[in-house]
Structure 1
């Protein structure tokens, strides 16, 4: 321990005497250690740390697997059958998101709600902080629910944190509901983008076959593996499944809940962590080169220590203590930078998951940062330390100071530079692929024009708007009021707007089609008013838009998209064909009166699926999105929407008011943030690699000053010296870039799942990055090469 303390004091003195070196190396390490710490904290929170529920590893998500839908919701009879017959689960619960309108207050309020089976919180292992959990009798047959649980945030925000909240009455969708409990402050449900305000018990109708609307969460029974539980549930599905006529039985898809929640995030996080790992290795090589220079300049001092009896182990320890101390300094600065970097990474992660798995600098992250700092110090300090302790002492003692300095650089320095170039090329190629992918996504035609349009959502109360005629009147009145405003181009309503995260689908029949192949006829359904297509500038390719003639008394009609025509009509004539929806037996056959262009409804990277649009007057719904296009600014248009809805029904809350372009921006937020982070890492890697090339050649020129002066004195032309030094640098560059190209060929294949519209091997990106990195290296070589060609022979010859 005494020797360690002595070495620590010596390292502190040594580093303090060279503040420039210490600051440069420390900041380099701070950047890479800080970035690695931030990415580790994200991976630890999202992937490694269990969800904050008791025995979270036993929680699983379950879907129906249908012929053309791999992740379908579950119908109530199926869930009831699974509960009765499945032995691999201790409990199974259903849930579904909805919106409620709260009235009886100063202003109507939209309430974010979840309908859940009465055992839902028991499955999660959550108990109310006040009051009680749901009971079976809280979800009576027929669904006349009169009780609710409220979230802690809603209790504080909307109910004033009243201590006597249990027993209080809330008017939701024009019905009185009694608050029976308040959920804990630390509870948040990660399946919804926003915190849930109110929880309502859901009755499972055993006769509601074919109506798939439930999400299912299960807890695997003690002593049962997830695989065994899935096999058991597949067996049960064969028993209880009741497919509709002509359909195959539903399969089962099951996955660990945490894997499901992080499925869209894990690949991005691992890719970013791999990128900062590359930058860390480049930084280690860079700092190792700096340390090697210091070692070469102090090798006579080391020889004297060895001659005085210092063992190789002691000298090795002394050298490693200095490098580890330097790395720990970088680690401390990296933690400070990491606090800022966490804000950047948060933009890439699902907000719903961040509520239950926040990014934070906890003891685990601190421990990782400390271990990473020590490991980094050992990594970049080991090679210089071994070189320093492995030299031959006697020849060093016989040489004079200048003779020592005349030795050329160690080959290890050149090797480290080649490693930096290779890693920088791999990272830059990967960044180029991601940027090209992002460009391709941004260039996708979504099938609508978001610029100049605004949107808002509303949910008509099922009790106040039981009558379809009242729904139609509300929609028509609001639309007419908005159209009367100057500058308004179009106003339309739709149940599911593009890129909104919601959708409705189902089966249908084509009149006169016997469907000999047995292929399932499945399509997405939208319900829209006239002018909805005009409001988003969705082009009508054939036929017409909905119009006044498509009233509740008019002929049943439908509009389909081009993907529908390609898939189910062979790309042929669509107008006049007749379609019947399989929602119930009372649906009529509907005439196809129009074909509209494809709309990327779910995602910009997912091809448009078959869609069919029904006129709102013939199929009125409660949940709607209002879309308006006009000349007003977004703020003025949204204020006008509020006033129009208030004038028609002052008890109807309007929510999610926003320019429609924000939907597109939200979809692009994660890929844009990923590309920016990778770009920053790649730029840092290239900069470090360029500095490494410059450092090696500058040191080499400094060591060979006398030799180069002699060459010039003997008649060598300065251009010859210039070519000599440039040749040395270009050889390093060629070897490093060549090795990087080979490594990139293998590494980019691992990125295939994260790319869109670009192959992992894109020759133009590979060639462009190689040329750019080679050009940068050439510039780095040029400065020391020019200095070498201008060496004064008289000065160098007068040197010892």
Structure 2
């Protein structure tokens, strides 16, 4: 007989049995669907970010190259244009190629229809280094890295389709960028994407000859990416980079300063650097999903053992009638694998819903920027995993049913009502393991939730709930000179101040939670560096108008910057309390002089006229303030800046006023990134909020499974001992004694399970230490609350079957058989 013919009857019988036992089948399928679904969703995220090949040719050969100044408070800070020109070509044997990139945006469109879109500026080697081909055209040339030759663009495939309708003759056509005509020279192949970047086209990263000099070596404002030469490891490249930097320091005008700051260059694997912050929490969440699956498996193992024990007599009779051990084992295996496949398929559906949940929680902002989806590989791995789970669940049943002599089993189920100690022990072990794992999951969720709550309680140091913010980027062609930009800013501030409902208006280059912080070396007059100490890097931001009043940054000493400070030649500034306390802990900062440079002279010196409160710039959980200097916009006007407006109206109502006012001053200037300041803070908490929510969902399901498992074990124990209970009641046992007996069983198992859970929580807490904020890994309060929650749920699940036991009628129990 062929294998398929012998298998078909077994398959049909298994399907018939499962269809008859609908309650059992539904319970198994639902449990597997939830547990497998959680793992499907998490594995899809892990696969997209940590496992799947980078969307670049031989992506494992790519590295990030970053300058580091740990002594100055800047451990990883990008690279410079000067670094690029020093390290490219044959300068380093470890690198096959080196490229630089700088993100940003630009205005496109003809007069009257300006639109701002993301734009990248890159060096000629960019596409070759990443292994990205051009569909048509050519890449940039060396001479196009000079400003006067840089009016050329390469389009992404999507932008070519959207903006030029896929015109095959697009090469040589014109794209107006920042009001300057640019010639199209190429189109990138379809599917290109650089992490979360959504650049629509590329410009050459042009620079001046001065930018390439050693004096600009530490002007870190670009991202450097390199491709390792064949056979070269990251460690070997790092060694060569260390030697290379040491040689470069010989002609570095700031050698002593940067040495004191611990200057070195980090060469890091591309993926490792990109996922550095996200990886720990992703692994923790995947561990939580696996723990949930383990709880589900233990639950199902208990349920299946109970079911198998209930069929002991049927199994014995079938074996007596000639059913072989192999046949019985095959039936058990087929049943569990059928359930596993069904649960796995349902789990894939639950996982798809989970992925949609991830999207609502902001998973699209995860670092790699790749889409999270149920591709064939994820589904195959998930289904195979479910089948393996089914096979494992079948093992104890196969072993039990394969015993040669079932007489002991029949005796253990005799009319005396005694229970097989082995079976009882197995069920108890499964139950305490369930409780222990659920306890650890609840504790982990509690730690993440408390950590999120601690972050939410942190004050940003300013008022964020009634402030509208937006960004402007002044085109170089329209505003080429400092005076042009200053005139525009002064006029716009004046126009906005006159709008109804507007209280305060300010412009800044350093908006908190705005995503664009900049650091600068700072020299303080009279501050002597100690041996081994270095100049510190501090936040620096241009500001004008009532920026501090608009966002509610308090004045601590002196005065705010005023309109008169916008005049040419006025060199004053504000500092925050963190800056003032660092340099003048016992005195006043007012009247002191500083320079945002490596040395102080009369051309760059500024006098401090006010001290304002220290605020959080990038994260509510910033622990060590970096110190901030606010310069008047008149000293150095940038083309890109933010607007902050406080109003007596709802911030959303002000957005129309802002857009209309800007259009009145410059009809060709789009207003971008219009958002309430509080929303920026909320988005910064995404990395804490989303994991806390997911962990809470996992913990809730685990608690439910633990409750169901406890109820099932004790309910079966009551059913097994129903006759014994009836006899005890008949000879005088009181119902409350029976109730107490079974509650004690549940209580003992709860105590052991909680003990296991505490041990697991101790280990899990310390593994989670790096993602917690102001929360100790072994938090007694969380443990107490978790124990109380587990106690209530498990004892309630124990009480229901215990109450049923206390109500057993002696007459009914003794006549059941």
TM range (shorter): over 0.9
Number of matched pairs = 798
Distance of aligned partners of 1:649 and 1:396 in 2 relative to their CA distance in 1, 3 Å threshold:
closer
- 2:19 is equivalent to residue 16 of structure 1: yes
Deviations 1:530-588 (Å, cap 9, x if unpaired)? Answer: 21011111111111111022123353111111111222323532111111121786743
- The correspondence for 1:281, drawn from 294, 319, 330, is 294
Please say which of residues 474-483 and 562-571 is displaced more in the overlay. Answer: 562-571
State how far apart, in whole Å, the 2-side matches of 1:558 and 1:106 are: 38
Aligned residue in 2 for 1:198: 202
| Matches of 1:399 and 1:455, distance apart in 2 | 76
- Would the aligned equivalents of 1:32 and 1:280 in 2 still touch at CA under 8 Å? yes
Query: How far did 1:264 drift?
Result: 2.5
- Residue-by-residue CA offset, 1:338-370 (whole Å, 9 max, x unaligned): 211112224556646688622222221122112
Partner of 1:505: 519
What are the Cα deviations for residues 637-662 of structure 1, in whole angstroms up to 9, with x where unaligned? 11111111111111212111122222
Which residue does the alignment assign to 2:62? 59
Q: 2:337 aligns with which of 324, 332, 335?
A: 324
- Paired residue for 2:458? 444
Q: Alpha-carbon deviation of 1:191?
A: 5.6
Aligned-residue offset at 1:781: 1.2
* Matching residue within 524, 538, 557 for 1:523: 538
Q: 2:734 & 2:713 partners in 1: Cα distance?
A: 23
Give the stretch that moved more between structures: 95-104 or 228-237.
95-104
Cα distance in 1, alignment partners of residues 784 and 808 from structure 2: 36
Among residues 75, 85, 93, which one is paired with 1:87 in the alignment? 93
1:354-753 to 2 correspondence within 5 Å?
357-390=370-403, 392-395=405-408, 410-517=424-531, 518-553=533-568, 555-570=570-585, 572-582=587-597, 587-607=603-623, 608-753=625-770
Tell me by how many angstroms 1:256 deviates: 1.1
Q: Judge conservation of contact 1:132–1:180 (CA < 8 Å) in 2.
A: yes
Report what 1:7 is aligned to.
10
**What are the equivalent positions in structure 2 for 1:331-342 lying under 5 Å apart?**
331-342=344-355
Q: Which residue of 2 aligns with 1:47?
A: 50
Task: Pick the aligned partner of 1:236 from 244, 247, 269.
Answer: 244
The residue that corresponds to 2:803 in the other structure is: 786
Question: Are residues 135 and 653 of structure 1, via their aligned partners in 2, closer, same or farther at CA, if it must alter by over 3 Å?
Answer: same
Using the TM superposition, give the Cα deviation of residue 516 of structure 1 relative to its aligned residue in structure 2, in angstroms. Answer: 3.3
Q: Deviations over 1:299-342 (max 9, x none)?
A: 11211233344443432232122111111100011111221111
In the superposition, relative to structure 1, how do residues 258 and 350 fare at CA in structure 2: closer, same or farther (>3 Å)? farther
CA distance in 2: counterparts of 1:400 and 1:738, whole angstroms: 32
Shift of 1:395: 4.6
Alpha-carbon contact 2:122-2:202 (below 8 Å) kept: no
2:773 aligned with 1:756, yes or no? yes
- Quick one: distance in 2 between partners of 1:686 and 1:768? 13
Once the two structures are superposed, residues 610-638 of structure 1 have per-residue CA deviations (whole angstroms, 9 ceiling, x without a partner) of 11000112322211101111123333311
Change beyond 3 A, Cα 1:399–1:524: closer
Point out the more displaced range, 79-88 or 340-349: 340-349
Counterpart contact for 1:143–1:203, Cα < 8 Å: no
Distance in 1 between the 2:552 and 2:141 partners? 50
Could you say if the C-alpha distance between residues 616 and 647 of structure 1 is closer, same or farther in structure 2, counting changes exceeding 3 Å? same
| Conserved 8 A contact 1:103-1:651 | no
Question: 1:114 maps to which residue?
Answer: 120
Structure 2 residue aligned with 1:126, among 122, 129, 132? 132
Could you tell which deviates more after superposition, 606-615 or 389-398?
A: 389-398
Instruction: Note the alpha carbon deviations across 1:586-614, whole angstroms, 9 max, x for none.
Output: 74321111111111112122233111000
TM-score (norm: length of structure 2):
0.94
Partner Cα separation in structure 1 for residue 463 and residue 508 of structure 2: 16
1:38 aligned onto 2:38? no
Q: Give the corresponding residue for 1:257.
A: 270
Distance of 1:164 and 1:583 partners within structure 2: 51
Structure 1 447/197 Cα, relative in aligned 2: closer, same or farther at 3 Å?
A: farther
Residue 681 to residue 243, structure 1, CA distance change in 2 (3 Å): farther
Task: Tell me how far apart the structure 1 counterparts of residues 580 and 232 of structure 2 sit (CA, whole Å).
Answer: 47
- Runs of 4+ in structure 1 deviating by more than 4 angstroms, as ranges, are 347-350, 352-356, 395-409, 583-586
Distance 2:602 2:148 in 1: 23
Check whether the contact 2:417–2:721 (CA below 8 A) recurs between aligned residues. Answer: no
Deviates more, 1:111-120 or 1:729-738: 111-120
Residues 515 and 400 of structure 1: CA distance in aligned 2, closer, same or farther (over 3 Å):
closer
State the TM-score, normalized to the length of structure 1: 0.96
- Which piece of structure 1 moves more, 566-575 or 664-673? 566-575
* Inter-partner Cα distance in structure 2 for 1:609 and 1:61: 25
Match of 1:799 in 2: 816
Unaligned runs of 5+ in 2: none
- Tell me the residue number matched to 1:312: 325
Aligned 8 A contact 1:261 1:353 in 2: no
Say whether residues 1:211 and 2:219 are aligned partners: yes
Is 1:189–2:203 an aligned residue pair?
A: no
Q: Confirm or deny: 8 A CA contact 2:95 2:228 kept in the other structure.
A: yes
Mapped partners of 1:484, 1:390: distance in 2: 91
Distance in 1, Cα, partners of 2:362 & 2:277: 9
* Whole-angstrom CA distance in 2 between matches of 1:406 and 1:61: 65
> CA separation in 1, counterparts of 2:435 and 2:763?
16
- Matches of 1:799 and 1:404, distance apart in 2: 12
Distance 2:688 2:793 in 1: 28
The reply on whether 1:290 has 2:264 as its aligned counterpart is no
Distance 1:586 1:53 in 2: 50
Residue by residue over 1:429-481, the C-alpha shift from the partner in whole angstroms, topping out at 9 and shown as x without a partner, is 00000000000111111112211111111111223212222212211221222
Distance in 2, matches of 1:251 and 1:756, equals 29
Deviates more, 1:716-725 or 1:344-353: 344-353
Closer/same/farther in 2, CA of residues 554 and 88 from structure 1, 3 Å limit:
closer
1:138 paired residue number: 144
2:258 alignment counterpart: 248
Kindly provide the CA deviation profile for residues 253-298 of structure 1, in whole angstroms up to 9, marking residues without a partner as x: 1111112222222222211111111111111111111111110111
Q: CA RMSD in A?
A: 2.2
Separation (CA, whole Å) in 2 of partners of 1:122 and 1:348: 35
Moved more, 200-209 or 368-377: 200-209
Deviates more, 1:68-77 or 1:672-681: 68-77
**Is residue 257–residue 535 contact of structure 2 (8 Å, CA) maintained in 1?**
yes
Counterpart in the other structure of 2:155? 150
